[in-house]
Amino acid sequence: MALKITDACICCDVCAFECPNEAISLGEETYVIDPERCTECVGHYQASRCVEVCPVDCIVPDPDRREEHQILYQRYLRLTQKAG
């Protein structure tokens, strides 16, 4: 499942620097996560770095983007060009 940032975001910039896939960027009012780049850090870390560093806990699973671990891993391979 890809992640999303809720309206509780305080635009502190911390999450964007932690994302290994550059999936987080500043939107019109808050930071946003590009679901086509989000792997929940699968392939990079054991847990989602943005969730771990968010001081207001506003990064949550996106119920509209349910994705299995294998899909996230395939996206990681594509994004890092490690796919065979």
Domain count, the chain: 1
- Give domain status of residue 84, yes or no: no
Exposure on the CB side of residue 84, measured as CA atoms within 13 A: 0
Tens digits of residue pLDDT in 30-58: 999 999 999 999 999 999 999 999 999 99
* pLDDT exceeds 70 at position 83: no
Averaged pLDDT score across all residues of the chain: 94
- Give domain status of residue 41, yes or no: yes
pLDDT at 82: 77
Q: Which domain holds residue 58?
A: 3-79
What CATH number has the domain bearing residue 72?
3.30.70.20
Q: Which pTM does this prediction carry?
A: 0.90
Q: Are 17 and 54 in contact (CB under 8 A)?
A: no
pLDDT at 2: 84
Tens digits of residue pLDDT in 2-41: 899 999 999 999 999 999 999 999 999 999 999 999 999 9
* pLDDT exceeds 60 at position 84: no
